[in-house]
Structure 1
Amino acid sequence: MPVLLYYPLVKPPTEVLHQALLYWDGIATVVPRARRVYEFAVSPELRELRDRSLYTPLPFDRRSVEMLDHPDLGTAHSGSLASQALRQELFRLLGSPGSELTWPPDTFLYGSKLSHWLEEELLSLGLAERYDSEYWSLAVPRQVQQLIIGVLARELAAVHRVMDTGQPVSYVPYTDHPDAYAASLHAASERRLPAYQADLGGLLPVPAPGTPTAEVLAFRDRYPDERERLMRALHRLLGDLRRDYEHPADVLAQLRSEVERSVEDYRAAARSSRMAWVERSVTVTVALAAAAGSVVQPGLTWVLGAVGGYALNVATREIRPLSRARKEHDFSHLHRVRETLA
């Protein structure tokens, strides 16, 4: 299973952390590269999870700088397309509601998360001010913070990496900030691709607020087969939707029994635990592998049928992909706080 890459903050909310521990191989966040700032930004809980190989800090290192290098270096450079797209989006923000700096500021950027050209660009556009702090270097509007980290997270997710064990790892962008979610999907070239959007939250219950992380880890260790079967089934469903985009209803029909069995087994495990469970809405955007404009129409919605007692709705939309497209999958998740008792 891939690792959940949470953005735009270093420390994810507890409910997002618990979902990562239950349904993915762990969680990752983008962190400042300066050691002293890293120690301030990363919580003791995340450091403990890193010791268990369940948390991966992704620093804005040399590879990250190349992804968002100066846009005037030309398309031969690895990061020029992403940086050009980011620059375009920054210009679009100028004068828009929510793009003004407030004082005292409530949103900051760690200096060691930025390349030099990007810091200077933000200052010259008036989208940032230097901030005299032991840890932060720039005060920025919330929209700017979400745009920059959202784009960086999506670019990092598109890079193939290898774990310390030598095993390949892939990352799935995941956020609970709708503006950051939208920015990460739209900050790109003018080329547009169709995408499916599905809400899978009803199939992925999480522990109720206040549940200790230690109990979540104990459940993860006790029921590894049930949770892995559920995630394999759902990732196969999303992958098949991406490839067989012309027949979404057929995809669900072929995989319904597999998904329903895995959902039933997982819910039985959840009922046997002493934890209270809730449902969180999780919207997944699936960029289609290739599709003509006539295949899917933006705004068209399919109700693909009931899975595990829930209606699975898939709507189409358009996105502008960033400079790197994933061949095996291209998923992006939005976590919403709607909840009901499971």
Structure 2
Amino acid sequence: MAIMLYYPLIEPPRDVMYQGLLYWDMISTIVPDLADPDRESGWVRPSMMSPDMAAVADAGLYTPLSIASHVEPSVGIGGVDLTAKLRAALADLCSEMPERELKPRPAVEDPEQEIVYSDKLPPHCVDLLLENGLARVARREPMLIVSPAVHFTLLSVLARQLAHDLTAWQRVADRAEPCLPYTDQPWAFRLAHLPATGKPERCWQVELGGLLPVPDPSVPVSEVIAFRLKYNDERVRLVRAIRNLLRRLGGGEDPDEVFAELRAELADALSDLDRASQRRRVHWMRRSVSVLVALGSAAGAKVSPDYAWLLGLIGGYAVNVATTSMPSLPGDQGVDLSYLQRIRKAVE
């Protein structure tokens, strides 16, 4: 399966957490390097976790990711200068937004969006922000006060690059699980794919409709973890069918032909999982998930730009595909995927 790298916040909301518990091997987030001396560097102190996140961690399903613990000071695992990439992304942002929206506000109105731990960033990035007036040091170090736009840009660009680098590292270590960026905030998703962060590359945008249902947020985390264990075969079967669809699309195969071949497998897998939820009396909530699937240069050249159509229905839920572009990342990590969960619109 795969590791979900959620961004831009340290802790995902419940519906994203439940998506991670059912359809991913592990949940990961970028955290400050606030390790206690007797703990492994990069771990999150239990006092910083909500009870939900602590339960996920206790089940062995959460891995924190810190810049200091997993990469060199300014260069990613893949040899990319993270500070240079962030500088380019911020310059891109400055060219399209008024200065007043980029400077930190005199008084913090939303701590979750305006305060960032400096230890979550490459060391030289902190100097870059302070020198350009894009941040100021908070009274409680090691925190910086930034605008929401700057905060989301920093963490979104870092998340996509680190997911790419960790996937490359997994492949070198002969581990099959890729690490893929995942967010529920459209603004963060857009910022992660700013033009300055890479060379434009043609890709598919696949709307998965209601193919990845999750329990309603009223369901306790313990119940979701129990469901994951009891119905492991059903959930893995659905994930593999969807990943197979995305993998073949990324390989340049015709979307209509691929969907026609996999329709029955997808429908059966979704039906099995729905029956499992009924036996467990778990009420599903369905939110559409959008996935960008990068195409190689050869396959991308064959795809018409700005084209969209309905692939078909699975269990009454539409699966749509469109052509768009996203900035490519250096190196070969297999199929490049990036996820956006649309939380504000339920699938009818």
State the TM-score, normalizing by the size of structure 1.
0.88
Matched, 1:116 2:123: yes
Closer, same or farther: CA 41–289 of 1 in aligned 2, 3 Å: farther
Q: One-letter code of the match for 1:260?
A: A
Q: How large is the Cα RMSD of the aligned pairs?
A: 2.5
Partner of 1:253: 260
Which whole-Å CA distance do the structure 1 matches of 2:300 and 2:229 have between them? Answer: 45
Partner of 1:89: 89
Matched, 1:148 2:154: yes
Partner of 1:74: none
Matched, 1:19 2:19: yes
Which whole-Å CA distance do the structure 2 matches of 1:190 and 1:28 have between them? Answer: 24
Partner of 1:317: 324
Q: Displacement, 1:47?
A: 3.4
Instruction: Give secondary structure in 1 for the equivalent of 2:237.
Output: helix
Which whole-Å CA distance do the structure 1 matches of 2:230 and 2:345 have between them? Answer: 25
Q: Displacement, 1:311?
A: 2.1
How many residues of Structure 1 are paired with residues of Structure 2 in the alignment? 330
Closer, same or farther: CA 199–339 of 1 in aligned 2, 3 Å: same
Which whole-Å CA distance do the structure 2 matches of 1:12 and 1:87 have between them? Answer: 26
Q: Displacement, 1:68?
A: 4.7
Q: One-letter code of the match for 2:177?
A: V
Which whole-Å CA distance do the structure 2 matches of 1:42 and 1:176 have between them? Answer: 19
Instruction: Give secondary structure in 2 for the equivalent of 1:94.
Output: helix
Q: One-letter code of the match for 1:251?
A: V
Is the deviation greater in 19-28 or in 182-191?
182-191
Q: One-letter code of the match for 2:341?
A: H
Instruction: Give secondary structure in 1 for the equivalent of 2:202.
Output: strand
**For each residue in 1:116-136, what CA deviation from the matched residue of structure 2 results, as whole angstroms up to 9, or x when unmatched?**
2100111111111111115x4
**For each residue in 1:77-113, what CA deviation from the matched residue of structure 2 results, as whole angstroms up to 9, or x when unmatched?**
9123x54332122123337143232121231111211
2:106 to 97, 103, 123: 103
State the TM-score, normalizing by the size of structure 2.
0.87
Partner of 1:138: 144
Instruction: Give secondary structure in 1 for the equivalent of 2:22.
Output: helix
2:62 to 55, 58, 83: 55
**For each residue in 1:116-157, what CA deviation from the matched residue of structure 2 results, as whole angstroms up to 9, or x when unmatched?**
2100111111111111115x4210111111111111111221
Instruction: Give secondary structure in 2 for the equivalent of 1:4.
Output: strand
5 Å-filtered alignment, 1:203-218, equals: 203-218=211-226
Which whole-Å CA distance do the structure 1 matches of 2:197 and 2:216 have between them? Answer: 41
**For each residue in 1:215-264, what CA deviation from the matched residue of structure 2 results, as whole angstroms up to 9, or x when unmatched?**
1112111111100000000000000000024x111111111111111111
Closer, same or farther: CA 121–325 of 1 in aligned 2, 3 Å: farther
Percent identity between matched residues is 38
Which whole-Å CA distance do the structure 1 matches of 2:208 and 2:181 have between them? Answer: 15
Closer, same or farther: CA 290–257 of 1 in aligned 2, 3 Å: farther
Closer, same or farther: CA 175–67 of 1 in aligned 2, 3 Å: farther
Closer, same or farther: CA 60–47 of 1 in aligned 2, 3 Å: farther
2:288 to 266, 281, 291: 281
Q: Displacement, 1:67?
A: 5.6
5 Å-filtered alignment, 1:213-228, equals: 213-228=221-236
Is the deviation greater in 139-148 or in 224-233?
139-148
Ranges in structure 1 where 5+ consecutive residues have no aligned partner:
70-76
Which whole-Å CA distance do the structure 1 matches of 2:17 and 2:178 have between them? Answer: 17
1:198 to 182, 195, 206: 206
**2:210·2:347 contact (CA, 8 Å) conserved in 1?**
no
Closer, same or farther: CA 84–298 of 1 in aligned 2, 3 Å: farther
